[in-house]
Structure 1
Amino acid sequence: MAYMSMGEAHRRITEYLNRFSEAVSSQDGASLTRLLSVSSESPLSSPWPTQSLPSRS
């Protein structure tokens, strides 16, 4: 697996935060929903397994 450069990572994070900020300020629910839904197929998802949180029963 190839890793992206620090500059590319910074550019992507900045782009995401700008789109997020625009969606919030314009109250664009559809755009905000897309920005917040990260699927397991997304390149933004973590390559490491995640642990589920214990249930609060």
Structure 2
Amino acid sequence: MARRGQHSFMKRQKEIKRKQKAQEKMDRRQGKNQQVDDIDEEEVTERTEEEEEEE
């Protein structure tokens, strides 16, 4: 069985790099969404605490 050529190897390496970059980008985006959710939850708890103190 013949070995794969240099061209196939380079194409495969390029594809792996592209997929890795896309995964990192998706992770960053999801991290931003989680940070926004955390901030929203903190604001809600602060507001409810303030309302409880007023009563």
TM value normalised by structure 2: 0.45
Decide which structure has greater helix share: 2
Structure with larger RCO (C-alpha < 8 A, sep 6+): 1
TM value normalised by structure 1: 0.44
Answer with 1 or 2: which has the greater Rg: 2
